[in-house]
Structures are given as structure tokens and as C-alpha cells.
């Protein structure tokens, strides 16, 4: 099981994501890191575990209210040994340094723009975004497997930061239907027991923020996985 810590950027600082209600997100201040500065949050994550991959969601770009392209470029340059997964909403090729993979979220695409992801030549991670059971964005991205890369995030936004647990039923269905794809769990992961449950349905990677910030998931838990 690979754990990928998540950083949500809004208005230049790291915020605490909760259930997809982005207008209500507050600056991060947790047991792990009392600062909302992105560099200090990254250092706190690296102090908790030797993570080789970090996910950054540019919430301003996702909601079409600006973006953090310069800040993210500086971060990628400062940490060349880390691979960053960057979700910056609807995007074409970003001119970020080489240590990044773009994340393309369905919520930011329509059926008319979905075909544009072919320009990435499968060098991206697809995020199939849900709110409750509702598929968000381009419906063709959920049904047309020809548009899918090998790695796909199943993002359940209403569970993010909710302490409700992951959507095991949905993840189990995807893993069973498409065993040749690699699915990543996102949203609601509370503890090591949830990670074990994800492994049992075939998920080998998980995006996590809250459980790392609270200290519920620790170095020894990740090592045990």
C-alpha cells in the first residue's frame, strides 16, 4: 500500500479540505503542522514518513479563480527528488518541471472537452470525481475506457475530511470490473484499518491528508502496510 499525502492550496496557503465545501476551507493548523505554509507542510509530511510522492490540488485553478502556477513551480524545483501529482483543474500541458504528473479531474471537464485529454498521451492520472453517488463532470470519462490511463483516482468529495471511511463499495466495484487498472482511493480514510480494508478489495494506493495531520496514521502503520 502506497500512501500519498495531499496538499490543498487555496489563496496561497494550505487549507483543510472538508466534504468538498471549498468556500469554507480554513488554513491548516494541526498536530502535524501548525503552519499553513506549503514548504512547512511538506517538511512536516517528510518528517512523518519518507514520502516519494505528494499530491497538490490547486483549488483556485480547479474553481477557475486564479491559480498557483508560480508557487507550484517553485515547490517542484525545491524538491526535485519528490514526484508531485498536480491537479490544477481543466488543463492542457503545464510547463512545470519534469518531476510532476498532471491529474485531470472529471469535475473540470465536459463531454465536449473530455477528448482533449488524449493530447496527454496517457501521461496523466485520471480522477473520477463523485459527490455522494453522483458522478461529477464529463460523463464520457466514466464510461469511455479508451480515455482512461492506467492509474485512476476514485475521488469521493463528500467523504474528504469527513471521518466517514472510504467508499469501499464503489472501490470494490471498480477493482472487480477493471482488474487491469490501478485504482487509488481518495476521501474519508480514517486509520490503518481502513487501509487494510482497501487492500482487501484490491486498492494499492491512497490519498490521505486528515489522518496524517491528526497523527492517527503514523510511520509504523505505513511500514506495516
CA distance 81 to 53: 9
pLDDT of 21 strictly over 70: no
* Predicted local distance difference test score (pLDDT) of residue 163: 75
Domains and CATH numbers, the chain: 2-224 (3.20.20.70)
Mean pLDDT for 91-112 is 86
How confident is the model at residue 93, as a pLDDT? 64
Task: Tell me which residue has cell 502503520.
Answer: 221
> Parallel, antiparallel, or unpaired: how do β-strands 53-58 and 100-105 relate?
unpaired
Task: Supply the pTM of this predicted model.
Answer: 0.93
Mean pLDDT, rounded, for 131-143: 92
Residue 20, pLDDT above cutoff 70: no
Closest CA to 4 of 220, 205, 213, 225: 205
Share of the chain above pLDDT 90, in %: 82
What's the pLDDT tens digit per position in 143-196? 999 999 999 999 998 888 667 889 999 999 999 999 999 999 998 899 999 999
| CA Rg value for the chain | 16
Grid cell for residue 107? 469535475
**Average pLDDT over every residue of 127-156:** 94
Is 3's pLDDT higher than 90?
yes
Is the pLDDT score of 29 beyond 70? yes
Q: What is the mean pLDDT of residues 118-145?
A: 93
Whether the Cβ atoms of residue 202 and residue 223 lie closer than 8 Å to each other? no
Amino acid at each position: 500500500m502506497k500512501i500519498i499525502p495531499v496538499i490543498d492550496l487555496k489563496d496561497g496557503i494550505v487549507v483543510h479540505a472538508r466534504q468538498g465545501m471549498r468556500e469554507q476551507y480554513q488554513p491548516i493548523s494541526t498536530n502535524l503542522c501548525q503552519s499553513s505554509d506549503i514548504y512547512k507542510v511538506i517538511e512536516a509530511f517528510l518528517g512523518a514518513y519518507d514520502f516519494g510522492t505528494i499530491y497538490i490540488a490547486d483549488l483556485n485553478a480547479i474553481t477557475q479563480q486564479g491559480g498557483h502556477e508560480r508557487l507550484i513551480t517553485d515547490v517542484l524545483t525545491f524538491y526535485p527528488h519528490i514526484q508531485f501529482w498536480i491537479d490544477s483543474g481543466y488543463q492542457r500541458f503545464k510547463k512545470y518541471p519534469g518531476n510532476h504528473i498532471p491529474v485531470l479531474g472529471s469535475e473540470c471537464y465536459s463531454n465536449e472537452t473530455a477528448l482533449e485529454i488524449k493530447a496527454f498521451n496517457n501521461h496523466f492520472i485520471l480522477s473520477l470525481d463523485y459527490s455522494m453517488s453522483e458522478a461529477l463532470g464529463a460523463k464520457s470519462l466514466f464510461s469511455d475506457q479508451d480515455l482512461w490511463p492506467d492509474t485512476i483516482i476514485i475521488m469521493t468529495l463528500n467523504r474528504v475530511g469527513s471521518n466517514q471511511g472510504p467508499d469501499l463499495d464503489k472501490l470494490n466495484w471498480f477493482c472487480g470490473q477493471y482488474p487491469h487498472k490501478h485504482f487509488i482511493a481518495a476521501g474519508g480514510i480514517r486509520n490503518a484499518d481502513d487501509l487494510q480494508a482497501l487492500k482487501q478489495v484490491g486498492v494499492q494506493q491512497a490519498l490521505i491528508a486528515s489522518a496524517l495531520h491528526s497523527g492517527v496514521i503514523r510511520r509504523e502503520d505505513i511500514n506495516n502496510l
